[in-house]
Amino acid sequence: MITFTRTTQTYDAATDTMTSVATTVTGDAVQVTPKDSDLVRFRERDLVITETILLLFTPTTYGQVPAPGDVVTWPNSSVGLEYTVRDVNPLAPDGVVILARVACGR
């Protein structure tokens, strides 16, 4: 199980304050070796290949995918490093995302 977290700020007019709101996307992921087409996408997005991991992600709730800027701790590294989503390449054959290739950088 893996969890991507997105934190946004919401303004509350009644208290004149900003509140942090965390949204999560959960699912299963495996780290995969980038294909040549992935490496082209990495270069187009100025990602340093040696600091980028590529995850093949299936959401727990179909249709949900992480977005660039979301944060994830990849558990398969020896120290559980924190990564930020840089690129998402979804597979949605009927319009609902069932799988995505998620590039995460440090």
Q: What is the rounded CA–CA span in Å between residue 103 and residue 17?
A: 34
SS3 for 42?
Answer: helix
Q: What confidence score (pLDDT) does residue 78 get?
A: 61
User: In the structure encoding, which two tokens stand for residue 99, read together?
Assistant: 């799988």
Closest by CA to 89, choosing from 23, 24, 26, 40, is 40
Q: What confidence score (pLDDT) does residue 42 get?
A: 81
pLDDT tens, 9-47? 889 888 899 988 899 999 999 999 888 888 888 888 877
pTM of the shown model: 0.82
Q: What confidence score (pLDDT) does residue 74 get?
A: 87
Whether 31 contacts 55, CB under 8 Å:
yes
pLDDT tens, 56-97? 999 999 999 999 999 999 875 567 789 999 999 999 998 999
User: In the structure encoding, which two tokens stand for residue 96, read together?
Assistant: 């609902």
